Amino acid sequence: MLKNLVHRKGNPPEPARATIYPQSIDIDEGEQFEIQYEITENPLPNIQWEREGKVPFNPRRSTANEHLRISYAVASDVGHNICRATNLRGDSGSTFGLTTASCVG
């Protein structure tokens, strides 16, 4: 779970919202790429990264300062990736798509 959050103390409870940008990336196999994300919430949500079709996520990923970074793109990264935020008030998912000419997934 990730904890890169925008927490608004004192505000009424609201559903979690996830935003990702850019929403699509075109890269070559072996390249590094980075996605910026923002989570807004009250109360604190659980954050999960998921892959379309339950494909395992690239083990070369890291998160810091509201960024998801994959240091070496592989063919299995091609497709839709989802950042899901869930709290007691609801949930939200934001998706980015990854395409490349040299990765066939």
Lowest mean pLDDT among 7-11, 21-25, 27-31: 7-11
Domains of the chain in start order, with CATH, are: 6-99 (2.60.40.10)
pTM of the model: 0.67
33-42 and 6-7: which strand pairing? Answer: parallel
- In the block, tokens 């490349």 appear at 100
Q: What was the pLDDT predicted at 88?
A: 83
- Dig out the tokens for 35 from the structure: 């996605």
* CB of 31 closer than 8 Å to CB of 62: no
Q: What was the pLDDT predicted at 102?
A: 61
* pLDDT at 9 > cutoff 60: no
